[in-house]
Amino acid sequence: MTEFLDFLKHKFAYVAIGEFKPGKFEEAKQLFEKAVSTYDHGFKGAYLLQEPGTDKGVALILWENIEDMEENQNESYQAILNQMSHLFAKAPDTSFYEVCSEIQGLDGE
């Protein structure tokens, strides 16, 4: 029964939509990957999307629950965010979403 209840639990997504200063997306990408590498408990995956030909992007970070994200905001993470903050053209728009549907491709990845 526990496996079935686990199946019904939904993940949460932290979404940040922003734009970096011209030519700064690559540096921001490296810092994003460095920040994500500090996550452990409750972290379920992350994506960084870039609008082709621009410095606009969307970060999507999946968590088992919102509290896990808060617990993973340690000193290392904060230091990386401080390095990244000056790269933004303006502060990103951020939100939390509940993942209501998740569909895997045929190969399961």
pLDDT of residue 109: 59
Longest CA–CA separation in the chain, Å:
52
Cα 9 to Cα 14, 25, 27, 51, 101: the distances in Å are: 17, 34, 35, 31, 11
Cα 20 to Cα 14, 30, 38, 65, 102: the distances in Å are: 18, 13, 22, 28, 29
Of residues 30 and 2, which shows the higher confidence score?
A: 30
Annotation: CATH topology of 9-94: Alpha-Beta Plaits (3.30.70)
Q: Residue 80: which residues within 8 A CB-CB, separation 6 or more?
A: 31, 34, 35, 38
Q: Residue 5's pLDDT band (boundaries 50, 70, 90)? A: very low
Contact, 24 vs 53, CB < 8 A? no
pLDDT of residue 87: 97
Q: 19 pairs with which residues across the strands?
A: 56
pLDDT of residue 74: 83
pLDDT of residue 60: 97
pLDDT of residue 8: 58
Q: Residue 1's pLDDT band (boundaries 50, 70, 90)? A: very low
Q: What is the mean pLDDT of the chain?
A: 89
- Give the domain ranges of the chain: 9-94
Name the range with the highest mean pLDDT among 5-9, 10-14, 56-60: 56-60
pTM: 0.83
